[in-house]
Structure 1
């Protein structure tokens, strides 16, 4: 049944590969189950309830991706967007968390409409082929950077912004051990190399005090959603601040999701000869549904996770990978102590290695044509340096439009790209 529904043979994969890919993706993104409640609870929301909302919204959105889009991408409340929700909208601007949830709910509704009318699909298809290749490479550097931060290998520095962490840290050596194990297994072409590396790192971290074994019962019922579910505040829907907050959520989520879908799909050779991603509309519906339902449950914007690349690197090619991720999130609802014990240092090697895998599409870029290579370079470099997939895409697409325009090649730019360029400039100045 699984073979027929997901067309595994047509996608040159099998059930075992898809399951391993799904577990690998889940392990690299399971940190959201601990991080999201920690961030959103700073607004006064119930931390335990947020854990349940985080897991449930991930299950629902990823199921849509698995069963309708049939693509190997996983979704959950997005990092960055949750920080904007908590630290900007609630703490800095002084609005209630109910106001912020309402903005997320409205964002989900707008996304459903934009997707239904093919607006988001048109944006994905309008991105030039070389920019699509560079998005994959940029995301690779971005997630490798995240992995190095999680390992403590790269830390903040007032003098140079970033610097090498203390090599005496146990966290670094746990990550380096996992990096070595995964690297050797990859070289030997062992299936599940990244997942084995994660578990090896987690086990090594126990005697070093990096991995903390759960206390008490491993199995427990999920905390109640009652304190946060459906707690909307529509009294300020028509204020200027609501418009600003809503547009910010829309912009960041739109281009984070588009960038992730294009970048990971390009690495998996899912982009067709016309530069399009099959079933992209269904994929975009998944995060629109996830964001809408997630706000009802009581969490911030749901988006496609860049960590999906780790599952793709393990051979995941169909919705069976994302179905596995959804199943793991469902299990995590009842086994949260067990899943949350895996430290960031143990998943860091997978992110670093996946970052290296995602650089390969850069070889498809035409570096002889500067109107193509400069936008590609800016896309790649701005993602890790601005710590944003969306900003990398903005700089790449703006430079593409201007270089083509001022070199007389304006006919090579689509109408959608011109419209996007105007919107990007408006965002910068207003």
Structure 2
């Protein structure tokens, strides 16, 4: 059994039976955990900002985000013993707030039921042998288009929240007013943040948020006073989100079942493909991948991701998923579940700093949101442009999501276009049961949305 010198015996299970533990040390695992948290700590700031569109209290959302990340990462550390951290997923939080609550007009509790259902599907798939069948049955161009569409929408919301994009009297988007100091500060942050990322500054996104927040102490805000107002008590005992713990609205979900089901399917598919890509990518960079494309404790890792979403839904969070930022910890030497446990501890500590986090203005999160959106659009380069149907379906999802502000409309258009093109080409093998099932649910979704039956 592998052991780490200096590691308490009570934590020995985190490295037991893991050959990669021989390549690391206790100090290296701790540094790796600190590095991973520095890279993904922005989620404690950005996620509440996005979810605040639901009308929920930002203080409560900060606590929910931190607790969901902490519990999810602990589950991954214990189950898989891999250096992978989890948190509420960027993309799912947009669908949760902007699509389900704002666009569809459903309650926060109904959105939680959708997340719960997606987590149940993911967990069941993780313990079965159907995972590879789902991967093969879902067209890559649609998956990439979905990811890129959400990424562009996240970037757009960041620009609007930061004041760099406003709506002119005609209703068309227009550039922000740079004569306003707060907008100018946001613009400067947007230009500097990618430079920090290119220079490989650790925690560049978190650093940009902190820097803009500090500058906001002396920069006038758009509504009078300074942009950043520090709390009198920066550290305070958090209020538990009691109204959101097991806050499921099963009655409204049942009343709108066929309208809500496709969105629940999105939560499942989004988490499923995100987990698959992240776990493979992180373990490959850690040198844990075998020649046949497998990594240690793969089934337990997928199961942990599904359970994390179930726990997250129970405490009021959107889908909890593995974060690709875990790769930064791997590059710092993290190889075992101890790295993940360090990240979980830091998320737990962040709960007590909620007054400081709540004081961070929307302008400070703008560059981080835009950069996250750009990173999510990276997948567009993997589309096979030698076949016309691939870029068409992906770009249709991208365009319709951004122009309508509705992810489900974009997904419907991309899936229907892909299916009809396959029918026209008579490539029946590419009309998989997974794709046809999604098409059927999306047809029902469009019908119910258009007729307002639900």
Equivalent residue for 2:443?
425
Take 2:19 and 2:157, find their aligned partners in 1: how far apart are those partners?
Answer: 32
Q: TM-score, normalised by structure 2?
A: 0.71
> How many residues are aligned here?
414
Equivalent residue for 1:368?
386
> How far did residue 369 of structure 1 move?
1.9
Take 2:411 and 2:22, find their aligned partners in 1: how far apart are those partners?
Answer: 34
Take 1:129 and 1:88, find their aligned partners in 2: how far apart are those partners?
Answer: 27
Q: 1:61·1:75 contact (CA, 8 Å) conserved in 2?
A: no
Equivalent residue for 2:93?
78
Take 1:375 and 1:410, find their aligned partners in 2: how far apart are those partners?
Answer: 17
Equivalent residue for 2:196?
185
Query: 3-state SS of the aligned residue for 1:429?
Result: helix
Q: Structure 1 residue 408 and structure 2 residue 423: aligned?
A: no
Take 2:277 and 2:364, find their aligned partners in 1: how far apart are those partners?
Answer: 24
Q: Structure 1 residue 212 and structure 2 residue 223: aligned?
A: no
Pick the aligned partner of 1:223 from 222, 232, 239.
239
Pick the aligned partner of 2:159 from 129, 145, 148.
148
Inter-CA distance 224–19: structure 2 relative to 1 (3 Å threshold): closer
Inter-CA distance 52–186: structure 2 relative to 1 (3 Å threshold): closer
> How far did residue 330 of structure 1 move?
1.2
Pick the aligned partner of 1:127 from 138, 145, 158.
138
Say which is worse superposed, 57-66 or 100-109, in terms of deviation: 100-109
Take 2:282 and 2:170, find their aligned partners in 1: how far apart are those partners?
Answer: 39
Inter-CA distance 228–160: structure 2 relative to 1 (3 Å threshold): closer
> How far did residue 30 of structure 1 move?
2.0
Inter-CA distance 329–193: structure 2 relative to 1 (3 Å threshold): closer
Query: 3-state SS of the aligned residue for 1:31?
Result: helix
Pick the aligned partner of 1:257 from 242, 252, 271.
271
Q: 2:63·2:354 contact (CA, 8 Å) conserved in 1?
A: no
Q: 2:76·2:301 contact (CA, 8 Å) conserved in 1?
A: yes
Take 1:372 and 1:424, find their aligned partners in 2: how far apart are those partners?
Answer: 20
Q: Structure 1 residue 302 and structure 2 residue 316: aligned?
A: no
Q: 1:49·1:226 contact (CA, 8 Å) conserved in 2?
A: no
Aligned residue runs from structure 1 range 86-165, under 5 A: 108-109=119-120, 112-113=123-124, 115-117=126-128, 122-157=133-168, 159-165=170-176
> How far did residue 202 of structure 1 move?
1.9
Take 2:400 and 2:131, find their aligned partners in 1: how far apart are those partners?
Answer: 23
Inter-CA distance 162–427: structure 2 relative to 1 (3 Å threshold): same
Q: Structure 1 residue 59 and structure 2 residue 73: aligned?
A: no
Take 1:146 and 1:347, find their aligned partners in 2: how far apart are those partners?
Answer: 10
Question: Residues 172-224 of structure 1: CA distance to partner in whole angstroms, max 9, x if unpaired?
Answer: 22222222332333444444433332322222221014552432222222224
Take 1:362 and 1:105, find their aligned partners in 2: how far apart are those partners?
Answer: 30
Take 2:49 and 2:392, find their aligned partners in 1: how far apart are those partners?
Answer: 39
Take 1:390 and 1:285, find their aligned partners in 2: how far apart are those partners?
Answer: 27
Take 1:229 and 1:418, find their aligned partners in 2: how far apart are those partners?
Answer: 36
Inter-CA distance 226–346: structure 2 relative to 1 (3 Å threshold): closer
Equivalent residue for 2:452?
none
Question: Residues 126-183 of structure 1: CA distance to partner in whole angstroms, max 9, x if unpaired?
Answer: 2233444444543442332232123111223462442222222333222222223323
> How far did residue 244 of structure 1 move?
4.5
Take 1:41 and 1:244, find their aligned partners in 2: how far apart are those partners?
Answer: 26
Equivalent residue for 1:327?
345
Query: 3-state SS of the aligned residue for 1:223?
Result: coil
RMSD after superposition: 4.6
Question: Residues 370-421 of structure 1: CA distance to partner in whole angstroms, max 9, x if unpaired?
Answer: 1222112223333433445555444333322221121122223333223322
Inter-CA distance 387–242: structure 2 relative to 1 (3 Å threshold): closer
> How far did residue 285 of structure 1 move?
4.4
> How far did residue 113 of structure 1 move?
3.9
Take 2:343 and 2:442, find their aligned partners in 1: how far apart are those partners?
Answer: 34
Structure 1 gap ranges (5+): none
Query: 3-state SS of the aligned residue for 2:174?
Result: strand
